[in-house]
Amino acid sequence: MTTRFGRRKFLAYGSATLGTAMLLKACGSAPTDSTGGEEDAPTAAADGDTIKVGILHSLSGTMAISETTVVDAEQLAIKEINANGGVLGKQIEAVLEDGASDWPTFAEKAEKLIDQDQVVTVFGCWTSASRKAVLPVFESKDHMLWYPVQYEGQECSKNIFYTGAAPNQQIEPAVDWLLENKGSDFFLVGSDYVFPRTANTIIKEQLKAKGGNTVGEDYLPLGNTEVTPIITKIKAALPEGGVIFNSLNGDSNVAFFKQLQGAGMTPDMYPVMSVSIAEEEVRQIGKEFLVGHYAAWNYFQTVETPENEQWVADFKAEYGDDRVTNDPMEAAYIMVYLWKQAVEAAGTTDLAAVREAAYGQEFAAPEGPVTMNPNHHISKTVRIGQVRDDGLFDIVSSTDGPVDPQPWNQYVPETQGFGCDWSDPAKGGKYEVEA
Amino acid sequence: MLEGLVGGLFNGISIGAVLLIVALGLAIVFGLMGVINLAHGELMMLGAYTTYVVQNGANGLGDWAVESYILVALPLAFLVAALVGLLLERSVIRFLYGRPLETLLATWGVSLILRQFVRSVNWPMVIGLGVFALLFGVGRWILSRYTDWARIARWANPVVSILSAAIALVAGLVVQGAGNPTFTRAWFSTRNVDVTPPSWLRGGVSLGATLQFPSARLFIIALTILCLVAVYWFLNGTTWGLKMRSVTQNRAMSACLGIPTEQVDALTFALGSGLAGIAGCAVTLLGSVGPNLGGNYIVDAFMVVVVGGVGKLVGSIVAALLIGIVTYLVGSGTVALLLTGNEALQPVTDFFTFFATTSMAKVMVFALIIAFLQVRPAGLFPQKGRSVEA
């Protein structure tokens, strides 16, 4: 070296290099933002007239892990519909926007989709926080959002259709099943934010009503991986074993299950019921730590219906053999079809007409038959699965048929006795149900 | 009672051991060199990903490999992190010595770059970077051999780098375009990856009726002690360690006596980074492995070093154990439990019961640390005599 390579220069070149590398990457993997235009599309769409729908999920940031899988399912549904002639004889064009795991960004992008792109509906959101952020946008513009994830309930908006489970279609049946089969002493573990806290409020009220006990509860801050104190508490509260109800989200689950096994707490003594762990998460946590534990969902990849076999095969053909399907993906897939049926029943994409036409729409979903209710939620079958050796679920219990949704929880005193019915202008989002 | 005491002490120590192994590399880099390295967590992450790669390699070799891969992963994680640390020191940090604020910003930038790198690294990107490094290196070497480099450096440097970058970009794009999807797929993607420890680290050792010591925790405690002994021996028993300590205490004087301070800096930083890699390998036994792994530990690591006091390893050891034990005793409700039954102390019991959750225990530990630093701003064991150059 004859000269020193100056710091400023280094930074300039270094950043140039990295910029280059990132560019390389970006050019290589730019997502396709349109799923229209299949080669075997019918000539009806040849006039170039398309129906625009918005897809609004996090394609980057912490939530991207989960939300990109949901985008895949939505795009598969759109692709299939287009291949079969589209909607009202027109092809669907999807406008993809990235909410970037940042709630204000979700609100901005929602406005952009509605005002700039003039989409006729939006499919999107995963976390309750992002849904709460876009809710005012959809209500002020009187537009339409389809939301595919199980959530804590206590909401019923005229402008949102919820195709995930309400608490009475996931949490409550799970608690009932545990009380019947696994004992009545519950320890509640969750991440420290709105969904687990609301869910646990419901569980505590339900246990009170059904004669179970909550022996303790604790919340881990998101991203925390030190579970030792919680494990000590569980052992102290349940020395003879008992039920652990887990609403942890994301990384904490990995730490929780790894350390639970290390502490010798096996599923036969300490069965864990999770509400945020589906097939995709099992793969990331490591099935060795989960075998024998339980999860409550409406859909598992192992559901034995002809529709499901077809769907899993289609999905793997489209995205690769190593991919798995799970509940939120399935809910995302069926909501596209429910919207399509509503549009075709209405004969127009006019929002009010589509909303009216959506009530009562039925669809033979992979999970079994589903029906859209006037309260904007769908009737779904509820299932309990147990993790087996291959990382999929053994379905150990399932309801006889679809369970009707209750957005307003019937165990929490503040919302007891309330219902929601948007088909009747006199009732609306929250009315007192006649006893 | 005795079982409870032993169990509690073990749990406290095991939390402390994790904190300590995470903070050990930082205690050297920040404690001895005064470099605020915000990319420390990302060096850990690289160690964790190395473990993941070794595990996947072992899965193809049969059962004996699956059972013992961690023993190979540990030294490899150390090497990978140490090399990246060395590169980081030679290319960024050495220009910023004595300027803590710029160091902080630059290393934070590096940490973001490393996170994104792990998310998006694939073959075309690696090939592109390799081509760039090769062209740039060779170009400079040729020019400096056959021309008066000092005279033309002003314009030659940008020209060479831009040319190399352009060629590298084209090469990368060609590979990307021609490659089949498996070839251009990201190695790790944004998803967390599943690192499963060997089966002998997944269970626990039972003792008595109620006690069970998780094997992973025992392993980490042993590993921490091993690392401590090794670092202590290196600092106090080898020539390089002696040089390191002398540079830490008085850089100018060491340079006058012929100690190659630049090399010592590089070596010290590489050692600290390597220890971060080992820590990264260790935490795969406890938690998830993803691009954001480092962020979960970096605050705790700095906390340990600051409480321990800059410039002394023993401070970090005591601080980590103290923080671990206090976190455990408060968070698990043991303190509240010990106080119950005493009527006079009821308000105190209620106070501790309120703090007996994971989130609130953290709040209390932070509050205690802030209070402690008011009393002793330089930490538990401040450096005496000549101060360390910051």
Distances in Å between the alpha carbon of B49 and those of A21, A391, B351? 20, 22, 42
Q: What is the predicted pLDDT for the residue at B385?
A: 54
Instruction: For chain A, state the CA radius of gyration.
Output: 23
Instruction: Please work out, in degrees rounded to the nearest 5, the angle formed at the alpha carbon of residue A396 by the alpha carbons of A194 and A127.
Output: 20
Mean pLDDT, rounded, for B304-319: 88
**Does residue A417 belong to the interface with chain B, where contact is any CB pair within 8 Å?**
no
Lowest mean pLDDT among A196-210, A419-433, B335-349: B335-349
- Give the distance, in angstroms, between the CA of residue B13 and the centroid of all CA atoms in the same chain: 20
CB A253 within 8 A of CB A285: yes
pLDDT in tens, A336-362: 999 999 999 999 889 999 999 999 999
Task: Inform me whether the pLDDT recorded for A25 exceeds 60.
Answer: no
Count of beta carbons in the 10 Å neighbourhood of residue A432: 9
Which of B125, B217, B358 shows the shortest C-beta gap to A218? Answer: B358
CB A159 within 8 A of CB A378: no
pLDDT in tens, B136-186: 888 888 888 877 777 777 788 788 888 888 988 888 888 877 767 777 778
Count of beta carbons in the 10 Å neighbourhood of residue A208: 12
Please indicate whether residue A18 or residue A293 has the higher confidence score (pLDDT): A293
- Which amino acid appears at position B221 of this protein? I
Mean pLDDT, rounded, for B110-126: 89
Task: Inform me whether the pLDDT recorded for A127 exceeds 50.
Answer: yes
Q: Best of A1, A4, A11, A24 to disrupt the B interface by mutation (most B CBs within 10 Å)? A: A24
Three-class DSSP category at B175: helix
Mind telling me how many Å the CA of A69 is from chain B's nearest CA? 11
Q: What is the predicted pLDDT for the residue at A388?
A: 94
Residues listed for chain A = 435
Three-class DSSP category at A144: coil
CB A358 within 8 A of CB A342: yes
**Does residue A7 belong to the interface with chain B, where contact is any CB pair within 8 Å?**
yes
Distances in Å between the alpha carbon of B170 and those of A91, B116, B156, B176? 37, 21, 21, 10
**Does residue B55 belong to the interface with chain A, where contact is any CB pair within 8 Å?**
no
Checking B256-264 for CB contacts under 8 A at 24+ apart, the result is B262/B94, B264/B240
Instruction: Indicate the pairing of strand A272-274 with strand A362-365.
Output: unpaired
Mean pLDDT, rounded, for B93-97: 89
What totals of helices (H) and strands (E) does chain A contain, helices first?
13, 17
Question: What are the φ/ψ torsions at residue A427 (nearest 5 degrees)?
Answer: -95, -60
Query: Is the pTM of the predicted complex or chain greater than 0.85?
Result: no
Average pLDDT over chain B reads 87
C-alpha B377/C-alpha A186 separation (Å) is 45
Average pLDDT over chain A reads 86
Of chain B, the percentage scoring pLDDT greater than 90 comes to 44
C-alpha A260/C-alpha B226 separation (Å) is 26
Residue from B355, B298, B300 nearest B322 by CA: B300
Q: What is the predicted pLDDT for the residue at B62?
A: 83
| Partner-chain contact B169 A24, CB within 8 Å | yes
- What b-and-e string marks burial along B269-299, b requiring 16 or more CB atoms within 10 Å of the CB? bbbbbbbbbbbbbbbbbbbbbbbbbbebbbe
Cβ-Cβ contacts under 8 Å, B150 against chain A: 2-3
CB A288 within 8 A of CB B202: yes
pLDDT in tens, A257-280: 999 998 889 999 999 999 989 998
Lowest mean pLDDT among A289-298, A407-416, B171-180: B171-180
Mind telling me how many Å the CA of B132 is from chain A's nearest CA? 8
Beta bridge partners of A362: A371
Q: What is the predicted pLDDT for the residue at A13?
A: 52
C-alpha A96/C-alpha A91 separation (Å) is 16
Q: What is the predicted pLDDT for the residue at B202?
A: 87
Mean pLDDT, rounded, for A209-218: 92
CB B219 within 8 A of CB A93: no
Q: What is the predicted pLDDT for the residue at B35?
A: 87
Tokens (6 digits) for B48: 């964790």
CB B211 within 8 A of CB B6: yes
Cβ-Cβ contacts under 8 Å, B169 against chain A: 20, 23-24
| Partner-chain contact A283 B202, CB within 8 Å | no
Confidence of residue A95 (pLDDT cuts 50, 70, 90): very high
Q: What is the predicted pLDDT for the residue at A40?
A: 37
Mean pLDDT, rounded, for B324-342: 82
Three-class DSSP category at B9: helix
Mind telling me how many Å the CA of A266 is from chain B's nearest CA? 10
User: By CA distance, what is A286's nearest residue in B?
Assistant: B194
Count of beta carbons in the 10 Å neighbourhood of residue A192: 18
| Partner-chain contact B14 A218, CB within 8 Å | no
C-alpha A164/C-alpha A298 separation (Å) is 8
Which of A65, A219, A285 shows the shortest C-beta gap to B194? Answer: A285
**Does residue B239 belong to the interface with chain A, where contact is any CB pair within 8 Å?**
no
Place of tokens 């969904």: A195
Please indicate whether residue A98 or residue A11 has the higher confidence score (pLDDT): A98
**Does residue B284 belong to the interface with chain A, where contact is any CB pair within 8 Å?**
no
Cβ-Cβ contacts under 8 Å, A71 against chain B: none
CB A434 within 8 A of CB A179: no
**Does residue B334 belong to the interface with chain A, where contact is any CB pair within 8 Å?**
yes
What totals of helices (H) and strands (E) does chain B contain, helices first?
16, 2
C-alpha A172/C-alpha A8 separation (Å) is 61
- Report for A382-386, B135-139, B337-341, B375-379: range of highest mean pLDDT: A382-386
| Binding-face residues of A in 11-30 toward B, CB within 8 A | 12-14, 16-18, 20-25, 27-29
Q: What is the predicted pLDDT for the residue at A132?
A: 92
